[in-house]
């Protein structure tokens, strides 16, 4: 893993429309986009399985939500926005889950919104789709779980929106990040602008939007858009899961405090709570005095066995 703080500042690549838009257009034009007029697909009423466009895997205290349209560069349609929102709410209430990871299946995180769906919709429908995108981002920010975006390949537009709504972003060195939307006549919501500006500063945010240029993982880290960069010959998913395993053994109360008071770009925060968790505090102090690592995760599992909980709200 690389966290290069010094050395030569990486170059910011110029936006080449013939490259990125050509790839996105080719991906969007192939096949048909799924569409649920009710906005609440049947797959969400039960465990997501099979080849649904969004997948969920939970193991070892870590929930992984995967965007699963690799042939379309994981472009996100209205059904997917709703499904991801529902899954985030679902796992956030599951006390066995300690960390939430968001990733894209295949070579890309997400190239952004499904332009084929947008192009075939009237303006009212387009506004509704972008509203769903913002609600999905809000669900990630308001979740009490620590959230990590695992970025491979392209993370553009509303795909980047999803990543920015997470608490942390881990990216491949050769990932491609940007907001090339001005050419499409799409405006940014106030909360989207805040998410970018709080990380990069206002001037750099405007530079990225005005020019539409794209940056690689190293440059994105220098801008503040990502937190860790993984060398090209290493697995970004493996690194993300390793970070998740470290986080899951920390005090849930301490993590929630950091998430709440650390804030988010949009200003949203998880539900209120006490400053000291009685059980975590006792275990933390005891472990310190006994000169051992605290076992918050094991202690919490034991409490669940002794007294079933009604869930997190």
| Helix (H) and strand (E) counts in the chain | 12, 9
0.85 surpassed by pTM: no
Report whether 109 contacts 155 (CB < 8 A).
yes
Indicate the burial class of 95 (C-beta count within 10 angstroms; 0-12, 13-18, 19 or more): middle
Say what the pLDDT of residue 16 is: 44
Say what the pLDDT of residue 192 is: 87
* pLDDT digits 0-9 by tens, 152-191: 999 999 999 999 999 999 999 999 999 988 777 777 788 8
From residue 216, give the alpha-carbon distance in Å to each of 11, 14, 47, 232. Answer: 8, 11, 35, 11
| SS3 category, 114 | coil
Report whether 167 contacts 149 (CB < 8 A).
no
Say what the pLDDT of residue 115 is: 86
d(CA 217, CA 164): 14
C-alpha torsion 196→197→202→207, nearest 10 = -10
Say what the pLDDT of residue 283 is: 60
d(CA 98, CA 181): 35
d(CA 17, CA 19): 5
- Residue keyed to tokens 């794209």: 214
d(CA 252, CA 200): 29
Report whether 166 contacts 138 (CB < 8 A).
no
The DSSP annotation for 60-98 comes to TTEEEEEE--GGGTT-B-HHHHHHHHHHHHHHHT-TT--
d(CA 3, CA 104): 23
Report whether 146 contacts 167 (CB < 8 A).
yes
* pLDDT digits 0-9 by tens, 24-53: 556 655 544 443 333 333 333 334 445 689
Q: How many CA atoms lie within 13 A of 86 on its CB side?
A: 19
Task: Quote the tokens at residue 140.
Answer: 């990630």
Task: Name the DSSP letter for residue 13.
Answer: P
**Domains assigned to the chain:** 17-247 (3.90.226.10), 252-306 (no CATH)
- Residues with Cβ within 8 Å of 286's Cβ and at least 6 positions away in sequence, in order, are 294
Task: Quote the tokens at residue 161.
Answer: 């929106």
- Which residues of the chain are under the pLDDT cut of 50? 1-18, 31-49, 271-277, 281, 299, 303-313
């Amino acid at each position: 893993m690389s966290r290069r703080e010094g050395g030569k500042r990486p170059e910011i690549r110029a936006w080449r429309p013939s490259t990125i838009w050509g790839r996105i257009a080719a991906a969007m034009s192939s096949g048909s986009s799924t569409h649920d007029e009710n906005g609440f697909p049947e797959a969400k009423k039960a465990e997501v399985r099979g080849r649904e466009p969004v997948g969920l895997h939970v193991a070892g205290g870590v929930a992984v939500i995967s965007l699963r349209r690799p042939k379309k560069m994981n472009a996100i349609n209205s059904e997917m926005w709703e499904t991801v929102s529902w899954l985030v709410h679902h796992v956030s209430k599951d006390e066995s889950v300690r960390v939430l990871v968001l990733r894209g299946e295949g070579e890309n995180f997400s190239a952004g919104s499904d332009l084929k769906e947008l192009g075939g919709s009237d303006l009212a429908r387009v506004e509704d789709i972008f509203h769903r995108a913002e609600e999905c981002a809000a669900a990630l920010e308001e979740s009490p779980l620590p959230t990590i975006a695992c970025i491979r390949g392209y993370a553009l537009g509303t795909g980047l929106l999803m990543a920015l709504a997470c608490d942390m972003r881990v990216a491949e060195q050769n990932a491609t990040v940007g907001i090339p939307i001005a050419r499409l006549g799409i405006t940014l919501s106030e909360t989207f602008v805040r998410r970018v500006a709080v990380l990069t500063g206002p001037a750099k945010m405007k530079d990225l939007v005005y020019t539409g240029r794209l940056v690689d993982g190293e440059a994105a880290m220098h801008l503040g858009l990502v937190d860790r960069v993984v060398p090209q010959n290493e697995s970004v998913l493996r690194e993300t899961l390793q970070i998740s395993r470290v986080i899951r053994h920390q005090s849930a109360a301490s993590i929630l405090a950091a998430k709440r008071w650390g804030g988010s770009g949009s200003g949203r925060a998880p539900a209120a709570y006490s400053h000291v968790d009685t059980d975590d505090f006792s275990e933390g102090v005891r472990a310190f005095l006994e000169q051992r690592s605290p076992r918050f995760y094991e202690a919490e599992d034991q409490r669940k066995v002794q007294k079933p909980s009604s869930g997190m709200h």
